[in-house]
Chain A
Amino acid sequence: MGELTQTSSRVLEPAGSEGFVTTKAEALLAWAQKYSLFMYPFVTACCGMEFMAMSSPRYDFARFGAEAPRFSPRQADLLWVVGTITQRQAPILKRIYEQMAEPKWVLAFGTCASCGGFYDNYACVAGVDKIIPCHVYVPGCPPRPEAVLDGLMLLMDKIQRGDRTPAAVKPRTDPVTSHEYGLVQLRRRESQA
């Protein structure tokens, strides 16, 4: 019940067993929105395989309420842009985005959708934010399922806070400073020598 500890909500418990909760209407609405994201998967490339893995039971983003894919943008809240967007597809993506009803969010899945990746050429759009606003960037080629889940939870967090600024998913561990995954170990302890 982490959301009940948000600043806008209070749990008031008197001495007895019954209690009640006060909250703001907009916080309650945001709470409902973040747990009922209807998705529109705009899948164009190999990241789609990762997207399928995400929606299947092993990683299962249905756990976060983002269960129902809607294949009409008019019924969707969250546009997943999964894969490379070519210049030829750009009008289609923009049209899909314009058909979605407010409130709507966009998640760029993978490096190609976020910034174009290595497709820096005549045919491709270097990131969906050149065409439509984007709220969460999930880097990776393809991203790990954990990163996608982090991105989804980040978006839910932003919906709860009413924040529509863009954000990128950070790595869970820093490979340079992590001792477990460290690339180099500069100094050994005497006990390890």
Chain B
Amino acid sequence: MAKALVELLKQSFPAAVLETHAQHGDETLVLDPASWHEVAAFLKSSPAADMNMLMDLTAVDFPDREPRFEIVAHFYSLAKGHRLRLKARVGDPEGKHVRIASLTDLWGSANWMERECWDMFGVVFEGHPDLRRILLYPEFEGHPLRKDYAADKIQPLVEYRDVPATDKVAPFRSDEGMSFGRQTHDHVPSADAPDPEIFPEPAN
């Protein structure tokens, strides 16, 4: 069913469809990014496609490729039960000009998914009504799911405590941390000689 849809799109937009492939039965079209919104609008309005659900929209970073980013959208037709995946390749190697048209005017669900995509990959969706970070905080710099974001880079909002010794376990007796049944009472001294570990001599 989706194969017929691929043929329909190839005939309707011969210049926009760059390549097609299928993996595990999922038909995929790689589009010219300039026609991203046009093809998506056709998928929604055409009775043969009837794609009334945008299931997922995200990006993939291929740092060695040119263009660097691949925008991926998954569509599903609730009435016809078929799926289609669209891809578009955008972005320069530095990742400074990554722009593609927003689909928020067609599917409301694109709003938050495009915000997440901006948050994680720095893809600018032109025409998005409110393109802010959605998961991370506004003070965050950079886009963490890009491959050139250092894996161990953190940006704390609260200054970390300056604790000289980070030794977490400081046992003050050999049975500390044991359950009551495993505690020994050998070390309990007589009342006349208090345990110096617990009650140190006061410094005079």
Q: Which residues of A contact B (CB under 8 A)?
A: 5-8, 10, 87-88, 90-91, 94, 114-115, 120-123, 125, 129-133, 137, 146, 149-150, 153-154, 157, 161, 163, 165-170, 172
Please name the residue on chain B nearest to A108 by beta carbon. B168
Pairwise interchain contact B199-A8, C-beta atoms closer than 8 A: yes
Sample of 18 A–B contacts (CB below 8 Å): A5-B188, A7-B191, A7-B194, A8-B194, A90-B156, A121-B151, A122-B149, A123-B135, A130-B160, A131-B161, A154-B177, A161-B172, A163-B172, A163-B198, A165-B172, A166-B170, A167-B176, A172-B182
**Chain A: minimal CB distance from B121 (Å):** 13
Pairwise interchain contact B179-A172, C-beta atoms closer than 8 A: yes
Cβ of B24 < 8 Å from any Cβ of A? no
Q: Determine if A168 and B158 form an interchain contact, defined as CB atoms under 8 angstroms apart.
A: no
Tell me whether B158 and A94 are in contact (CB under 8 A): yes
B62 at the interface (CB under 8 A from A): no
Contacting pair A87 B137 (CB below 8 A) = yes
**Chain B interface size, under 10 / 10 to 19 / 20 to 34 / 35 or more:** 35 or more
Q: Decide yes or no whether B96 CB sits under 8 A from chain A.
A: no
Q: Which residue of A lies closest to B142 (CB)?
A: A122
- Least Cβ–Cβ distance between B133 and chain A, in angstroms: 10
A-B interface contact total, Cβ < 8 Å: 87
Alpha-carbon distance A5/B183, docked complex (angstroms): 14
Chain B contacts to A: CB under 8 angstroms: 135-137, 144, 149, 151-158, 160-161, 163, 166, 168-172, 176-180, 182, 188-189, 191, 194-195, 198-199
Residue of B nearest to A161 (CB): B198
Q: Is the CB of A167 within 8 A of B191?
A: no
Knowing A7-B188, A150-B179, A169-B177, the reply to whether A122 touches B153 (Cβ < 8 A) is: yes
What is the bound-complex CA distance between A53 and B143, given in angstroms? Answer: 39
Residues of A within 8 A of B179 (CB): 146, 149-150, 153, 172
Instruction: Determine the distance from Cα of A131 to Cα of B158 in the docked complex, in whole angstroms.
Output: 7
- Considering the complex, give the chain B residue whose CB is closest to the CB of A173: B182
Neighbouring B residues of A131 by C-beta, 8 Å: 158, 160-161
Q: Are B161 and A166 in contact (CB under 8 A)?
A: no
A88: which B residues are within 8 A, CB to CB? 136-137, 157
Residue of A nearest to B145 (CB): A122
Q: Report Cα–Cα, A130/B154, bound state, in Å.
A: 13
B152 CB, min distance to chain A CBs, angstroms:
8
Instruction: Let me know if A129 and B177 touch, CB within 8 A.
Output: no
Taking a contact as CB atoms under 8 Å apart, the answer to whether A129 and B198 are in contact is no
Minimum CB–CB distance from B198 to chain A (whole Å) comes to: 5
Given contacts A8-B194, A129-B161, A168-B177, 18 further A-B contacts (CB under 8 A): A6-B188, A8-B199, A10-B191, A87-B154, A87-B157, A90-B157, A90-B158, A121-B144, A123-B136, A129-B163, A129-B166, A131-B161, A153-B179, A153-B180, A157-B176, A165-B170, A166-B169, A166-B170
How long is the Cα–Cα vector from A121 to B195 in the complex, in angstroms? 45
In the complex, what's the smallest C-beta–C-beta distance from A103 to chain B, in angstroms?
18
Residues of A close to B172: CB separation below 8 A: 161, 163, 165
* Cα distance A87–B166 in the bound complex, in angstroms: 20
Distance in angstroms between the alpha carbons of A19 and B195 in the assembled complex: 25
Q: What's the nearest-Cβ distance from chain A to residue B193, in Å? A: 9
Q: Which residues of B contact A149 (CB under 8 A)?
A: 179
**B161→A87 contact, CB < 8 A:** no
Chain B residue contacts of A146, Cβ below 8 A = 179
Q: Contacts A154-B176, A172-B182; is A122 near B198 (CB within 8 Å)?
A: no
